[in-house]
Amino acid sequence: MNAEARLRECLARIEARELEVRAFVHLDVDGALAQARALDAGAVRGPLHGLPLGVKDIFDTHDMPTECGSTIFAGHRPRVDAAAVALCRAAGAIVIGKTVTTEFANMTAGVTRNPHRLAHSPGGSSSGSAAAVADGMLPLALGTQTAGSLIRPAAYCGVVGFKPSFGRVPRAGVKPNADSMDTVGGFGRSVADAALLASVLTGDARLREWAVPERVRIGLAPGPDWAQADADVFACWEHAQRALAPQAARCEDAALPPDFADVAAVQAAIQAAETAQALAFEHRTHRASLSDALLALLDKGRAMDAETLAAHRARADRWRREVDALFDRHDVLLTPSTSGEAPAGLQFTGDPLFCRPWSLLGLPCVHLPFASGSNGLPLGLQLVGRHGDDHRLIAAAQWCMDRLA
């Protein structure tokens, strides 16, 4: 199928569903068609040749507005692409539009609805990207994660979300949130699709050249907040253990650090402090245009003293070393993605509780969509890998999906 034909299939789906799902804040149909025709007229450009791509609206794009989910940036037109967008275009992707984000990629919801049930949240902050891929509007979309903004919407919408290792993807041209955790990643309908996108973002060809291993060593890491998961997640967990353990090289509990119970609180505290720094201008000059929830976060972050922040960062550094040692025995850690199915209502994008530890530690994560909950909405679990072992994580993810789906 040529690029224009593939694009027209996506455009037809968008026309049929966008008024209900509301995944996009900006669409450039004419520009996308021009890109597709240019690609069809030339040689294959790269691994993403002719694939339509959605871009979360905190990424700069030279040909479309970048509004960051805030009226403060209404009509803002960058002059250059974010590095990740430029890499995707160079690899042949067709940027079809900008997808809805929560306010400055935080917790205040945008307008997007869950395509599986319109009265439920798609998650956040990469709401539009996850919903567009889940609904068949796009094969691939870009997102970011600071706490749970890739894995959580992937879980709620039932797609594969992949957060690479921290620092593997350039962040130039992406609106900052928390400098020590912000990570560019993306969504696909399969592990292979998400890995293909990540191979372009990271420049690591191993992410599209991997082979499924014969066996995988799995560390079970439900985490210190396991009691916050609901019965659907417990059932999903039991199903995964039954399916994976008999064929795994190892499937056993992973010994997380003894004081890991504080990890979510430490991540949230560091994020608040760093977000207050990143949004200092908006906080100082546009308070009236910020949501109450974001103002509370920024005020909390600004109130944190340097000694407290340094102590939090020291604990995070120690946990990174301690958790890294687990990967001497385990190839991957299996852990929840969310506490349950997508919540009803559109104002609450869900709790990133089960994603916070791995975002704090900068580890690569992939959501595996293989189940549904008692309300019939998507459910799954996430795999976490060693920092820098993204290609091995992806291979293990496919091994798991082959046995779970």
DSSP string, 29-51: HHHHHHHHHHHHHS---STTTT-
Nearest Cα residue to 163 out of 337, 297, 346: 337
Write down the pTM of the prediction. Answer: 0.98
Catalytic residue flag (residue 56)? yes
**pLDDT tens track for 54-83:** 999 999 999 999 999 999 999 999 999 999
Helix (H) or strand (E) holding 17: helix 3-21
Helix (H) or strand (E) holding 379: strand 378-384
Q: Output helix, strand, coil percentages for the chain, rounded to the nearest 5.
A: 45, 15, 40
Q: Are strands 160-163 and 365-372 parallel, antiparallel or unpaired?
A: antiparallel
Nearest Cα residue to 198 out of 181, 183, 182, 185: 185
Predicted confidence band of residue 227 (pLDDT cuts 50, 70, 90) = very high
Predicted confidence band of residue 1 (pLDDT cuts 50, 70, 90) = confident
Tokens of residue 291, six digits: 């949501």
Q: What is the pLDDT of residue 346?
A: 97
Q: For a pLDDT cut of 90, what percent of the chain falls above it?
A: 100
Helix (H) or strand (E) holding 349: none
Residue 321 and residue 308: Cα distance in Å, rounded? Answer: 21
Predicted confidence band of residue 405 (pLDDT cuts 50, 70, 90) = confident
Q: Any idea of the CA torsion for 340, 345, 349, 352, to the nearest 10 degrees?
A: -20
Q: Where in the chain is the domain with CATH 3.90.1300.10?
A: 3-208
User: Exposure string (b/e) for 324-340, b if CB count within 10 Å is 16 or more?
Assistant: eebbeebbbbbbbbbbb
Catalytic residue among 121, 125, 199, 359: 125
Q: What is the pLDDT of residue 307?
A: 98
Residue 219 and residue 256: Cα distance in Å, rounded? Answer: 10
Predicted confidence band of residue 10 (pLDDT cuts 50, 70, 90) = very high
Catalytic residue flag (residue 125)? yes
Check: CB of residue 363 under 8 Å from CB of residue 256.
Answer: no
- β-sheet with 94-99: strand ranges across: 24-27, 94-99, 52-56, 140-145, 183-188, 160-163, 365-372, 378-384, 332-336, 217-220, 250-253
Residue ranges of the alpha helices (H) in 327-389?
356-361
CA quadruple 50, 198, 188, 56: dihedral sign: negative
**pLDDT tens track for 268-312:** 999 999 999 999 999 999 999 999 999 999 999 999 999 999 999
The stretch 93-98 carries a mean pLDDT of 98
Q: What are phi and psi of 80, to 5 degrees?
A: -135, 160
| CATH class name, domain 3-208 | alpha beta
Check: CB of residue 403 under 8 Å from CB of residue 243.
Answer: yes
Check: CB of residue 100 under 8 Å from CB of residue 128.
Answer: yes
The stretch 388-399 carries a mean pLDDT of 98
Check: CB of residue 54 under 8 Å from CB of residue 99.
Answer: yes
Cα atoms found within 13 Å of the Cα of residue 78, Cβ hemisphere only: 20
Helix (H) or strand (E) holding 166: none
Tokens of residue 380, six digits: 């799954």
Catalytic residue among 121, 149, 337, 339: 149
Look up tokens 């990890």; give the residue.
263
